[in-house]
Amino acid sequence: MIEETQTKGERTRQAVLDAAHRLFIGQGYAATSMRQIAKKAGIAPASIYNHFDSKDKMFEAILLERHPFLQIMPILSSTQGRNMEEFVRGAAHTLVDQLGHYPDILNLMLTEIVEFQGEHVSLLFQKFIPRVMPLIQRLYSLDGNMRDIPPFVLARAFLGMFFSYYITGALLGQAMPAEMQANALDHFVDIFLHGVLVKETA
Amino acid sequence: MIEETQTKGERTRQAVLDAAHRLFIGQGYAATSMRQIAKKAGIAPASIYNHFDSKDKMFEAILLERHPFLQIMPILSSTQGRNMEEFVRGAAHTLVDQLGHYPDILNLMLTEIVEFQGEHVSLLFQKFIPRVMPLIQRLYSLDGNMRDIPPFVLARAFLGMFFSYYITGALLGQAMPAEMQANALDHFVDIFLHGVLVKETA
DNA sequence: CCTACCGATCGGTAGG
DNA sequence: CCTACCGATCGGTAGG
């Protein structure tokens, strides 16, 4: 036992959050019942309501405390790299190594888009923007003979590269053996880098 | 009335498919009830089972007959363009103009990934691969001083550019007014083109 | 944090 | 293609 500062109530809350988080990722929001969550968390279904007002509020709490951005951003922050190429290559591989090749990581985000029509987006935006801004600034100020691309667009394209890698991977990964999977990330990174940097040698 | 070749049963089937399609896109699979679908289609709930064995089979039929790829691919096929740049710019704008700026188009695909864990992916792959192959070949054989990128990776990156545009748009679109939205597609296309082509002038 | 339970709604069937 | 209905399960509450 390392940390004992959590109250019992807080530990139970986290157990519920853990259970619900995994179930939402695995099968979506509507298909997950309070009874499934309770069983996985090891308590009675009614006890969940001591910690969350409703299923909806619980989902909102999970978004705010477990959104994939909260895993992605610390990794990006700790990525070394003296110039754009080093940073992007390092970030891409560290992200994929630590988050895994399967797109489950994005599922919570995708569920919010499809099952809630993105209704929490502005809430999340407000919460995350202060943490994202320094990263955008850092990305933009890296050396590398960058073409004339606005900082926000650059950040969006960088993020988009991961999303597209994961989602096309989900679409193809189960249907293809390896010919397209192998080194796909490296190719995506190459295309992004060539797309963003001014070519040094013709 | 243009076409009268459809039987009444077929027309009802299509009405059910239309209703379910729109509901699944708008709120996902599990959150959509057979009663909602029946009401929107104008028939009794039980009557749906004259056309589909189960809710699951109905979703499968919608995937096979209404998957976003079936809208995307004809647009790509009819896009003119003598070289890579013309083709990609034309394809990007025609797609977005005809499909709209909002990512609803991808929702059926995203629902399948999240709520069905991509279990229909290989089925869809089998059905679509014969139509996709010519497009990959065409894309790859376009003029444009292309860098050394395998055809499959090129096609995947091209597709990924749209996905990332739509999904990052869904994430940002509701929270931002215009500063990042304006010309975002053009920037994405530029990055892709620079990323894929050999630079002509330093 | 539990047992017991609520009304509502679910996917699907019987039978015509 | 409908009416009528099935058992099961849903999110949530009462009361302790």
Put simply, the answer to whether A113 touches B156 (Cβ < 8 Å) is no
Which residue of A114, A120, A139, A156 is the best one to mutate when testing the B interface, meaning the one whose CB has the most B CBs within 10 A?
A114
Please check the confidence at residue B2 and state whether its pLDDT lies above 60: no
What pLDDT score was predicted for residue B147?
92
Chain C nucleotides close to protein (CB under 7 A) are 1-5, 9-15
β-partners of residue B146 are B197
Tell me the average pLDDT across A36-65: 97
What letters, b where the CB count within 10 A reaches 16 and e where it falls short, cover A144-155?
bebeebeebbbb
Please check the confidence at residue A150 and state whether its pLDDT lies above 80: yes
Going by pLDDT thresholds of 50, 70 and 90, the confidence category of residue A96 is very high
Going by pLDDT thresholds of 50, 70 and 90, the confidence category of residue B121 is very high
Tell me the average pLDDT across A19-48: 97
Please check the confidence at residue B35 and state whether its pLDDT lies above 80: yes
Chain B residues within 8 A of A165 when measuring between CB atoms: 160
Poorest-pLDDT segment among A84-88, A192-196, B7-11: B7-11
Strand C lies under 7 A from the Cβ of residue A47: yes
Q: Say if pTM beats, i.e. exceeds, 0.85.
A: yes
Nearest nt to the CA of A57 via C1' is: D11
Strand D lies under 7 A from the Cβ of residue B171: no
Put simply, the answer to whether B168 touches A180 (Cβ < 8 Å) is no
What pLDDT score was predicted for residue A201?
47
Going by pLDDT thresholds of 50, 70 and 90, the confidence category of residue A3 is low
Burial of B159 (0-12, 13-18, 19+ CB in 10 A): buried
Q: In chain B, helix, strand, coil percent, each to 5?
A: 70, 0, 30
Nearest nt to the CA of A47 via C1' is: C1
Chain D nucleotides close to protein (CB under 7 A) are 1-5, 9-15
Tell me the average pLDDT across A114-124: 95
What mean pLDDT value characterizes chain A? Answer: 91
SS3 A23: helix
Going by pLDDT thresholds of 50, 70 and 90, the confidence category of residue B144 is confident
Chain B residues within 8 A of A188 when measuring between CB atoms: 157, 160
Tell me the average pLDDT across A184-196: 95
Please check the confidence at residue B30 and state whether its pLDDT lies above 90: yes
Strand C lies under 7 A from the Cβ of residue B36: yes
